[in-house]
Amino acid sequence: SQQGEEDPQALSIQEGENATMNCSYKTSINNLQWYRQNSGRGLVHLILIRSNEREKHSGRLRVTLDTSKKSSSLLITASRAADTASYFCAPDSWGKLQFGAGTQVVVTP
């Protein structure tokens, strides 16, 4: 399948803790993207990592990519209640950007 498969399905943490979620895929990719979706809203782009990159940072976000294992991870450091959302990965595989079901993250104060 070309879609990203996120793991875990759900994650519950307290404010200040780090949240890590993983993404696996099955085909070669041009890039891999991570998105956030707040309840009842559209998806918002967080970060894009190209196939020749291994790590990328954006504010409190850190994304890694291991093309040999066909996996990526998203780390949110020092989480806040406002980080409560679903997080999706989307491997870009030859013209298709296919999402999975996301990881639902709940950050409690």
Residues at the interface with another protein (CB under 8 A): 30-31, 33, 35, 37, 40-45, 48, 86, 88, 90, 92, 94-102, 104
**Contacts of 11 by beta carbon, 8 Å cutoff, 6+ apart:** 19, 21, 103, 104, 105, 106
Closest distance of CB 52 from another protein, Å:
12
**Contacts of 63 by beta carbon, 8 Å cutoff, 6+ apart:** 34, 47, 49, 55, 56, 57, 72, 73, 74, 75
Give whichever of 75 and 97 is closer to another protein, judged by the CB atom.
97
Closest distance of CB 30 from another protein, Å:
4
Give whichever of 13 and 97 is closer to another protein, judged by the CB atom.
97
